[in-house]
Structure 1
Amino acid sequence: MADTTATSPTAASRKTTDLSSLGLAIAAEAIRNGDITSEGYARALLQRAGMLAELNTFITIDEAAVLAAARDADKARAAGSAALLLGVPLGVKDSYLTQGLPTSLGLDSLAHFVPREDADAVSAIKGAGALVFGKNNLVEMSYGLTGHNARYGQVRNPHAWDRVSGGSSSGSAASVAAGIVPAALGGDTVGSIRVPASFCGVVGFKPTTGRWPRKGVAPISHTLDTTGVFARNVEDCLLVDQIVTGEQDAKSSGRDDLRGVRLAFAPRQFLDLVDADVETGFRNVVRQLQDAGAEIVEVDLGDDFNALIQTATWGIFAHETMGAISDFLRRHDIPTTFEAIHEGLKPQLRQAWGHIVLPDGAGATSAEAYQTALSVTRPEIQQRLNAAFVSEGALALLQPTTPCTAPLIEEQATVRIAGQEVSYLALANHTVSASSVGLPGISLPCGLSRAGLPIGLELDAALGSDRALLNLARRIEGVLGANSTAS
């Protein structure tokens, strides 16, 4: 699949690397302008996918279909099309239904299931001219945070192949970080976009829950689920957000500083259990933002804030899973049942579902506790967060996206954070707060640890303020230094 104009393997590799470094908006503009062809771009990305196959970022890539779609895009361009994503291949998490392309949900039993329809978000990007490059690997039923899949393999971190990618949108994040695709669709319930974005060193955007369409995407919780996107810069997230929601692009302030911007962070809640490298990196970022003119205020969300978040959010998460999945299977004529899925899960996940998801499980959330979480605890959490956004006038709440950098693959069941052995669920300790009440959140790469592993900065904003958050993130990205692979 190498470019036939290459004069040597080295030249071919360099050509592929050059094209794979393009960000989404830049690649789309280059195709529209005729600087590159969609077919040439797709061939370069397919070649890169082959070179990096051991990362396990994709479950399915139909090379012939990708190239045929790219040739069609080139014909459309010649006929005058100026679609925003014309001819650009994107990755799609394999929890999204894709017409004519297998959708496994991460399960062995659905390896050959081919939907008759696209998820709404997939329809949106196709309508803007994008191609589906392939279906990204994921944790079974999106139930996990490290990127392990018993049937399709562990997704490896492109920065260190012996490290996890994060999950559940593991392949989506890693494929963007590896330069296989310029952007990819993912899903986030308690951190499944932001955790892998942090570990893989890319931008991961979780919209306000319910703002992006969820139809046609395998669910966990109708209260918490949202679709979203990975890219190598904020500008590309803005572009995909515009396409999926129909909202026009927010104009940039044109400023390269943060004067007049007030931001908040809660050290007692979000720096209590973090690795030293992560805390050092985060405090360095705070200083950089202050040096750029931002006003940073410390807030305290309460002694019991983290306990409220954990109890309410995980309780809702588990209580809604069985009903949400069963309904999804029925509505989309998927040839399996919840019971069959449960039986086919890897042992550790099957045991976890038996404990917290099945109504008779020892750890199942009662109907009363579920209602309390929805009607009492969530409003209390929202009220405390509002204190930062309203009382303090902060545009966003800052914290490290994850309390540590990517753990070793062999140590993913129990991870070490700040010298303590804790469950891998602790990887979502910071992301779960925005999920609990549906806030928009974005993770930005903000540096490397001493071991050279990416560190993420999370910005959470008030409900519905997605475009303002993305604009703010674009300014902060400029202050911190945009990821060089997105240029």
Structure 2
Amino acid sequence: MKPYELTITQALAKMKQGDLSAVELTESCLERIDAVEKEVTAFITIDRDGALLQAENADRQRKAGRAGTLCGVPLSVKDLLCTAGLRTTCGSKMLANFIPPYDATVVEKLKSAGAVIIGKTTMDEFAMGSTSESCAFGVPENPWKKGYVAGGSSGGSAVSVAALECLGSLGSDTGGSIRQPASLCGIVGMKPTYGRVSRYGLTAFASSLDQVGPLCRTVEDCARLMDVISGYDQMDSTSVQRDVPPYLSSLADGLEGLTVGVPREYFTEGLDGEVKRIIDDSIEVLKKKGAAIVDVSLPHTQYCVAVYYLIAPSEASSNLARYDGVLYGYRDMEADTLVDMYKQTRSKGFGAEVKRRILIGTYALSSGYYDAYYKKASQVRTLILDDFKKAFEVCDVLISPVTPTPAWKKGENTEDPLAIYMSDILTLSANLAGIPGMSVPGGFTADGLPVGVQLQGGHFQEETLLKTAFNLEQGLALEHRKPAL
């Protein structure tokens, strides 16, 4: 087994035993990037020199007996998390040359734990999308099948892990942007509870929905990253001051006493037959592990897409108003007046999907329409939250598909944004309610495409989710496949 094929847990064990150095591991990942990156386009920026310097420092720290919990582990970071001195583009021409002067809190925590930041990954522009096809710097390829989408908006993060270019990654999830690409690429991805992980240094899309989380190859690796990035941050006003349980130690075998709910609204018309089969098999695994299975209802699920695509664009309209060509970012230099400079900067700097969402959001917030659209959507959002509260009165965890179908062909729905929006119907509600959710590999279709299983829990119940996911992973015992790159 080559070093880049190791999980985080395996790599840490080898480095602790002295069988592998951080430099050797990082060099192996960089060699893998050289070999497959042209096929998968997972990265916008690769920090070769910086990564090797970090790895050398990690080896020194380990020799001195000061190794952090992720000492020497090469990770990638979605390109909307600020990295001091390293370009952060948000996948947009608007920030093509932006170099932040500080690290996002989660990046700072990774560095403090000794992790090696190997590069910044491709993503939908400003995290607006479900396929990563709106990225201004290349579109990631699904490593399992050429010509198919990798998911989005954290598509590059998922691909970098699935294609074995690094051992783990950080992404962001506003409406499914960690869970959906994790499912389509056959890896583990977690969206924590809103407020569990700091958002300081995360470039805002929709501030009441955005959340940072890990993408990894195993549930154990996911728990390790959650142990590092979770916790209160005084720099983030939405961060919750609450004790963080030791996630790694929660991964015990057996689910006796746990009740798993199956939301009937998630198993309706449009659900692919192979996806349903994989979810049904996963439910049987949880039964064998000791969990009780009950049917539950989330009656306002049908309104999730409409609610999300009013609230998220409205917040995006407000957040993206700062990109006007004045203080930083792209500026159109051909304009004759200040007003023309504003117009041309935003027209040329933003891509089509971002402009579409800004227009939707600005309209929804405009005078005379606010009550009819944004206010009404916020009220229905409360009903969606109430659905989950009632469901969690009778169960501990919900199980469902992540997406109605496996990955689809690139360009298939480019001219029909509504079709792409509808593909998020099973993930949006977790963001609207602020609850944690994750995707765990469930199996493969006959065509060799991965399918993930979605688990959702009550607020701050990541520990329960990880334990359930661990048991599902162990029970499914999927053969260890690698994409044919």
TM-score interval (norm. to shorter):
0.7 to 0.9
**TM-score, normalising length: structure 2:** 0.88
The structure-2 alpha-carbon separation of the partners of 1:295 and 1:341, relative to structure 1 and needing over 3 Å to count, comes to farther
Instruction: Name whichever of 167-176 and 476-485 sits farther off.
Output: 476-485
**Displacement of 1:102:** 0.6
**Displacement of 1:270:** 3.6
- Aligned equivalents of 2:158 and 2:371: distance in 1? 35
Q: 1:309 is aligned with what amino acid?
A: C
- Aligned equivalents of 2:209 and 2:342: distance in 1? 20
Deviations 1:111-166 (A, max 9, x none): 22211101111001001011110000111111100121453111001111211000
Q: Do structure 1's residue 50 and structure 2's residue 39 form an aligned pair?
A: no
Structure 1 unaligned blocks of 5 or more: 1-16, 416-420
Q: Do structure 1's residue 308 and structure 2's residue 293 form an aligned pair?
A: no
- Aligned equivalents of 2:342 and 2:120: distance in 1? 22
CA contact (8 A) 1:190 1:431 kept: yes
1:228-247 mapped onto 2 (5 Å cutoff): 228-246=213-231, 247=244
- Aligned equivalents of 2:150 and 2:342: distance in 1? 27
- Counterpart for residue 5 of structure 2: 21
- Aligned equivalents of 1:72 and 1:329: distance in 2? 40
- Counterpart for residue 399 of structure 2: 398
- Counterpart for residue 380 of structure 2: 377
Q: 1:377 is aligned with what amino acid?
A: V
The structure-2 alpha-carbon separation of the partners of 1:251 and 1:269, relative to structure 1 and needing over 3 Å to count, comes to closer
Q: Do structure 1's residue 473 and structure 2's residue 469 form an aligned pair?
A: yes
- Aligned equivalents of 1:310 and 1:133: distance in 2? 35
Q: How many residues align?
A: 459
Q: Do structure 1's residue 145 and structure 2's residue 135 form an aligned pair?
A: no
The structure-2 alpha-carbon separation of the partners of 1:92 and 1:367, relative to structure 1 and needing over 3 Å to count, comes to farther
CA contact (8 A) 2:286 2:471 kept: no
Deviations 1:87-116 (A, max 9, x none): 111100000111111111111242222111
Q: 1:290 is aligned with what amino acid?
A: K
- Counterpart for residue 39 of structure 1: 23
Q: 1:30 is aligned with what amino acid?
A: K
Q: Do structure 1's residue 179 and structure 2's residue 164 form an aligned pair?
A: yes
- Aligned equivalents of 2:463 and 2:136: distance in 1? 38
1:216-295 mapped onto 2 (5 Å cutoff): 216-246=201-231, 247-250=244-247, 252=249, 256-295=253-292
- Specify which of 181, 202, 220 is matched with residue 187 of structure 2: 202
CA contact (8 A) 1:233 1:483 kept: no
- Counterpart for residue 439 of structure 1: 435
The structure-2 alpha-carbon separation of the partners of 1:33 and 1:197, relative to structure 1 and needing over 3 Å to count, comes to same
- Aligned equivalents of 1:365 and 1:314: distance in 2? 15
- Aligned equivalents of 2:99 and 2:263: distance in 1? 46
Deviations 1:370-391 (A, max 9, x none): 23333x222211221122211x
CA contact (8 A) 1:285 1:446 kept: yes
**Displacement of 1:354:** 5.2
- Aligned equivalents of 1:127 and 1:340: distance in 2? 42
Instruction: Name whichever of 251-260 and 71-80 sits farther off.
Output: 251-260
**Displacement of 1:322:** 2.0
Deviations 1:138-196 (A, max 9, x none): 11111100121453111001111211000000100011001111110000100110110
CA contact (8 A) 2:255 2:291 kept: yes
- Aligned equivalents of 1:339 and 1:467: distance in 2? 48
CA contact (8 A) 2:317 2:359 kept: no
The structure-2 alpha-carbon separation of the partners of 1:431 and 1:361, relative to structure 1 and needing over 3 Å to count, comes to same
The structure-2 alpha-carbon separation of the partners of 1:135 and 1:220, relative to structure 1 and needing over 3 Å to count, comes to same
- Counterpart for residue 56 of structure 2: 71
1:154-193 mapped onto 2 (5 Å cutoff): 154-193=139-178
1:354-433 mapped onto 2 (5 Å cutoff): 355-359=359-363, 366-374=370-378, 376-390=379-393, 393-413=394-414, 423-433=419-429
The structure-2 alpha-carbon separation of the partners of 1:371 and 1:142, relative to structure 1 and needing over 3 Å to count, comes to same
CA contact (8 A) 2:134 2:353 kept: no
- Aligned equivalents of 1:131 and 1:75: distance in 2? 13
**Displacement of 1:18:** 1.8
Matched residue of 1:66: which SS? helix
- Aligned equivalents of 2:211 and 2:251: distance in 1? 30
- Counterpart for residue 3 of structure 1: none
Report the aligned-residue RMSD: 2.7
- Counterpart for residue 130 of structure 1: 115
CA contact (8 A) 2:259 2:293 kept: yes
CA contact (8 A) 1:258 1:476 kept: no
Matched residue of 1:160: which SS? coil
- Aligned equivalents of 1:477 and 1:190: distance in 2? 24
- Counterpart for residue 238 of structure 2: none
Q: Do structure 1's residue 325 and structure 2's residue 320 form an aligned pair?
A: yes
- Counterpart for residue 4 of structure 1: none
**TM-score, normalising length: structure 1:** 0.87
Instruction: Name whichever of 447-456 and 242-251 sits farther off.
Output: 242-251
**Displacement of 1:222:** 1.2
**Displacement of 1:466:** 1.6
CA contact (8 A) 2:122 2:137 kept: yes
Q: 1:193 is aligned with what amino acid?
A: I
Deviations 1:228-258 (A, max 9, x none): 1100111111111111125352465675333
**Displacement of 1:325:** 3.1
- Aligned equivalents of 2:272 and 2:211: distance in 1? 28
- Counterpart for residue 334 of structure 2: none
Instruction: Name whichever of 120-129 and 284-293 sits farther off.
Output: 284-293
**Displacement of 1:471:** 2.0
**Displacement of 1:33:** 3.0
